[in-house]
Copies of this chain bind each other. A is one copy, B any other.
Amino acid sequence: MYSFTNDYNETAHPKLLESLLTKAKQKNSGYGLDDYCQLASEQIRQVIGSPKSAVHFLPGGTMTNLTFISHVLRPYQAVIAANTGHIAVHETGAIEATGHKVITAQGIDAKLTPELIKPILDEHCDEHMVQPKLVYISNTTEMGTIYRKQELQRLYQFCQQHNLYLYLDGARLAMALTAEDNDLTFQDLAQLTDAFYIGGTKVGAFAGEALIINNLTLNQDFRFTMKQKGAMMAKSWILGLQFLTLMQDDLYLQLGDHSNKMAKALQTIFSEHGFTFNIRPQTNQLFINIPNRLVDNIMQNYSVYAFGQPDSGHTCLRFCTSWATTLDDIERFKSFLKKLSQK
């Protein structure tokens, strides 16, 4: 059964596997103090145009979120996230387990705006309530939408004015920065967030996320927290080497772009069949309202996630493409759907 379940079901992009085999042979220093982590950090600082930003390599997204957030908050401080935010829903209370409340706002297209955050600040007015301190956003969002530059500018300006940190979860940052509608760059992220991470796991790495801390006061002693949370890998050079490869020659963005293009091709197919989308497709996740009569057959032949029922006649299925999706995969699905519709 072919899988459109997610974008992390293939081991790693060939160039990354190759670099692992051909480059990382000699003895390396442990815990991120090796040459590859240094080189990759340097490479990232160049790409984002921020020579002073701190870079750390962690093994996964939940780990990165909980390590960074618990590091920068004082015990009574809280996070603000969209109700669809990964930390609010799908990390098994990882943030709360470090002692911090996640306050949610009903996002607009899964995104936060100053207008959504302001009432939360107004409501949290004294010491009987938690103190909102960090705004968590994802780009792409968990629904595949993206932040426009102006949106991010407004958010960051708002955060600065209200003494809030702005942290961006970039698990699918490659797809966000290569979306048709996108006008953000890596450099913008260095200027418009206190910290963000460049996601590797969903963009061809076999593991690893690169956390970039732009607000250096938040970087103090960060390696202590990394170690404490189990986020400091003994063989961190494996993560560094992958990011070195990903960030050279734009490979990272190319993989994101490919993911998006494959999704676009799928989108066209669904549209031609007259299917509608639960949310306007922008990147590599499609949330399609499928007529109920077709759902079982699709799910018997393709592995996808079901996301509830938008109305009594339809079920929303998520199709997710990746750097490893091929045009052949798309064509085969096209044929499959055509046959299915003719039954």
Cβ of A238 within 8 Å of any chain B Cβ, yes or no, is yes
Asked whether A99 is an interface residue with its Cβ less than 8 Å from the other chain, the reply is yes
Residue A226, interface by CB 8 Å: yes
Q: B93 and A78: CB pair below 8 A?
A: yes
Main secondary structure of the interface of A (DSSP, over half): loop
Whether the Cβ atoms of A11 and B2 lie closer than 8 Å is no
| B63 A230 Cβ-Cβ under 8 A | yes
Residues from chain B with a CB closer than 8 A to the CB of A64 are: 230
Contact A130 B93, beta carbon cutoff 8 Å: yes
Task: Check A221 for interface membership: any CB of B closer than 8 A.
Answer: yes
Give complex CA distance A3, B28 in Å.
Answer: 9
Q: Please tell me if A172 contacts chain B, counting CB pairs below 8 Å.
A: no
We find that the number of chain A residues with CB closer than 8 angstroms to chain B is 71
**Is A227 in contact with chain B by the CB < 8 A criterion?**
yes
Q: Is A225 an interface residue (CB 8 A)?
A: yes
Q: Cβ of A224 and Cβ of B127 under 8 Å apart?
A: yes
Minimum CB–CB distance from A95 to chain B (whole Å) comes to: 8
Chain B residue with minimal CB distance to A103? B93
CB distance from A137 to the nearest CB of B (A): 20
A85 to B: closest C-beta gap in Å: 13
Q: Which residue of B lies closest to A25 (CB)?
A: B11
What residues make up the interface of A, taking CB atoms closer than 8 Å to B? 2-3, 5-6, 8-11, 17, 20-21, 24-25, 27-31, 59-64, 66-67, 70-71, 74-76, 78, 89-94, 96-102, 127-131, 201-202, 206-207, 221, 223-235, 237-238, 303
